[in-house]
Amino acid sequence: MIDRAKSVWSRFMGRGVCPHELSFPLTLGVRRLIFKPETLVRQMALHGHERVLELGPGPGYFSPDVANALSEGHLILADIQGPMLTKVTRRLQAAGLAERTSAVQSDALALPLPENSVDVAFAVAVLGETPDPVAALKELGRVVRPGGRIVVTEQPGDPDALSKIELSDMGDALNLTLAQQFGRARNFTLVFRPAQTTA
């Protein structure tokens, strides 16, 4: 038991996926001082009818606000940890938003979604936790339809955080267009658009 607790704590304090056992700080109200969910919803420019993918929702800090903005749309939650999906699903059920959402346990590098199947994909403080951030961003580009958006947010205090330059370079390498950017320094959001397909 002690060894397991040490392992969980070590994973929480180090790089990589945040362990579900210590995910409760991710939903604390103090987090609003860094970044508010409604700010992300505004940056995503949702109209209400979109099919949206949230990669790595954790226990659901952003999920209720996004689902609430999708009055005629749908939010798909994809996380590698089943217990994390249980937590976010309960949070959405408590908010009366479960009918607008679905959850799938999945590796970020192999999402079980067809190409061009979502309008918007977003990830907050997630890409750096994956074993290959470039491959994860490429996978988001695969499932987002031409003309859609990939929204990536990084935040201070995250040991896996990527810089604006790193993310911009990744987007360039994948032929993604950097359409918008918000914030500054280590607390920012970049909005990419996949390359348009030609007939």
In this predicted model, what pLDDT tens digit does every residue of 102-146 receive, in sequence order?
999 999 999 999 999 999 999 999 999 999 999 999 999 999 999
Phi-psi region of 69 (alpha: psi -120 to 50; beta: other; left: phi over 0): alpha
Residues 68-77, mean pLDDT to the nearest whole number: 97
Per CATH, is 2-193 categorized as 1.10.530.10?
Answer: no
Average pLDDT over residues 28-55: 87
- Minimum mean pLDDT range among 60-64, 124-128, 159-163, 193-197: 193-197
pLDDT at 156: 84
Domain range list for the chain: 2-193
Mean per-residue pLDDT, 4-26: 49
Average pLDDT, the chain: 87
Residues 168, 170, 176, 182, CA torsion sign: negative
* pLDDT of 25: 52
| pLDDT over 70 (residue 30) | no
> What letter does residue 158 receive in the DSSP assignment?
-
- Over range 58-81, report the average pLDDT: 95
The pLDDT-based confidence of 150 (bands split at 50, 70, 90) is very high
pLDDT bin (cut points 50, 70, 90) of residue 26 is: low
Q: Please list, in sequence order, all residues whose beta carbon lies within 8 angstroms of the beta carbon of residue 178, skipping any fewer than 6 positions away.
A: 168, 171, 190, 191, 192
* Cα angle value 194/167/144 (rounded, 5°): 25
